[in-house]
Amino acid sequence: MRAKIYTILFAFICLTYYALFIEPSMILTKQNSFYNSTNTDLTTNLRIVQFSDTHLNNKNDIRKLSTIVKSINRMKPDFVVFTGDLISDIRKFGYEKEVINLLKGIKAKRGKLAIYGNHDHGGYFTEQYEKVLKDSNFILLKNEEKSFYFENQKVSFIGLDDYMLGKRNYENILNRIQKNTYTIVLAHEPDIANVTKNYPINLQLSGHSHGGQIYLPIFKSLIMPPFAKVYNRGKYKLSEKYNSYLIVSNGIGTTKLPIRFLTPPEIISIEIKRTH
């Protein structure tokens, strides 16, 4: 009996150590590929890299961000998108210059875009977040669209404001989607897909959930944050009518508890392949 107790205790200590010190330090790259829908005029392959939920708080987080920047640049993306929650608490954020220099160092052939997360609006950080992103050469979208034209084709990004603390007047911008344009929606909370799936989008990119940080499939609805209850990790088919998909990133950082279990930090690499 005593041997069983020691075995259980040892396993618990090992799992706790792993969740506290090993998995949170991992940075995996997840690959996704999509073929361009036939109703758009995209004719060349595109690579989009998404990172999300960095929740920067301390010097170790800054070092992790440096590693992320190097990983992104090795992928040679056409576009880089950040889907919100740069920091966790403005009172602990004292690394603005370092963050700007690192984010400015991200290289994208065609553009870098970002949106607000709930933490980016919280604690009176809204204006400072805008300054950090713009000083880092990111295009910050708040219920706005940014289109890119190249090689006789058009790709549009629609950035939606944060659902929890931002302005939810999404219909105004979603109603302007052009069906012959490859359209990517950036939305921090993934459950916004309950709205966007009714529009002719091709792809939605979200974060917010952290995959639950501790992934327990049986109890996942309990550990997922608000507005990440329906869609919370991985890839989903949103609409057969529009052939649209959603990707939800595990993100990079943590909140509340500095632990991760079966939800390693990840960078998402997405290849949009041209129509055959």
Read off the pLDDT of residues 93-147 as tens digits, 9 standing for 90 and up.
Answer: 888 999 999 999 999 999 999 999 999 998 789 999 999 999 999 999 999 999 9
**pLDDT tens digits along 218-249:** 776 668 999 999 999 999 999 999 999 999 99
Q: Is the pLDDT of residue 41 over 80?
A: no
| Domain topology for 2-273 | Purple Acid Phosphatase; chain A, domain 2 (3.60.21)
What does the pLDDT read at residue 124? 81
Predicted pLDDT of residue 37: 66
* DSSP bridge partners of 140: 114
Write down the pTM of the prediction: 0.95
What mean pLDDT is predicted for residues 43-48?
86
The mean-pLDDT minimum among 5-19, 108-122, 187-201, 255-269 falls in 5-19
Using pLDDT thresholds of 50, 70 and 90, give the confidence band for residue 180: confident
Over residues 152-161, mean pLDDT: 92
- Tell the residue number behind the tokens 């649209």, with chain if given: 244
Judging by DSSP bridges, how do beta strands 266-273 and 28-35 pair with one another?
Answer: parallel
Distance CA 60, CA 178 (A): 43
Q: Do residues 143 and 107 lie in contact, with contact meaning Cβ atoms separated by under 8 Å? A: no
| 3-class SS letters over 188-213 | CCHHHHHHHCCCCCCEEEECCCHHHC
pLDDT confidence band for 40 (50 / 70 / 90): low
**Cα(18)–Cα(262) distance, integer angstroms:** 10
Report, as an integer, the average pLDDT of 159-176: 95
The mean pLDDT value of the chain amounts to 91
What is the C-alpha to C-alpha distance for residues 82 and 163, in angstroms, rounded to an integer? 16
How far is residue 60's CA from residue 128's CA, in Å, rounded to a whole number? 22
Burial annotation 255-264 (CB, 10 A radius, 16+ → b, else e): beeebbbebb
Looking at the chain, the whole-number percentage of residues with pLDDT higher than 90 is 73
